[in-house]
Amino acid sequence: MTNQPGFIRAYLRASTDDQNASRAREALERFTAEKGASVASWYVENASGTRADRTELSRLIDDARPGDVLLVEQVDRLTRLAKDDWDRLKVAIQSAGLRVVSLDLPTSHAALTVSTGDDFTGRMLDAVNAMLLDMLAAVARKDYEDRRRRQAEGIAKAKDQGRYKGRPVDKEKHRRILELREQGFSVRKTADIIGCGISTVQRAEKRASAG
């Protein structure tokens, strides 16, 4: 007999306004279909994995019931948090009774297939996955810190050479944002339509008002 998990709740996150958080949706749909399951709810947001206060992730945890699955494409989609913040998030996930399943953590896939009556195997897999999840969370954080360091070094070098100009403004995106806002769309709805973060909408409006 195969396990019948609770709802599968998929979390899709992109770290910048210019990335589309829905990019991984097809991979997650394909994965669940191969397991004879389907995603019950999708939670999508543009936010850095280094932020502890992520609206959609918090909503997923609040919505969850014991036995539900938190499905992600990669562990770094769930966390690039510093250790203390990751520990708090992990406790919240565990308290909600969620089991994390990540495509890049094969041992976690068993949460969809382990026999419901096999308590020993389930507990062993949970223990193994908790350890591996901690390791991948640490790797994700280190990767983030390494990239930030290299970026800062590159910017410093470019400034020394007089070549640093910062990130160029996407004028076309800002134009479309302002059009939607003039049509009466809320900040959040505008961000959803454009596929950007709320902060981008706010920056576009601030830039326009500064004129």
Using left for φ > 0, alpha for ψ between -120 and 50, and beta otherwise, residue 150 falls in alpha
Helix (H/G/I), strand (E/B), else coil: 80? coil
CA 153/CA 95 separation, integer angstroms: 41
Q: Order of strands across the sheet with 99-102?
A: 41-46, 8-14, 69-72, 99-102
Planar angle of CA 101, 105, 110, nearest 5 degrees = 55
Spot the catalytic one: 15, 102, 108, 115: 15
Catalytic residue flag (residue 41): no
Which residues are known to be catalytic?
15
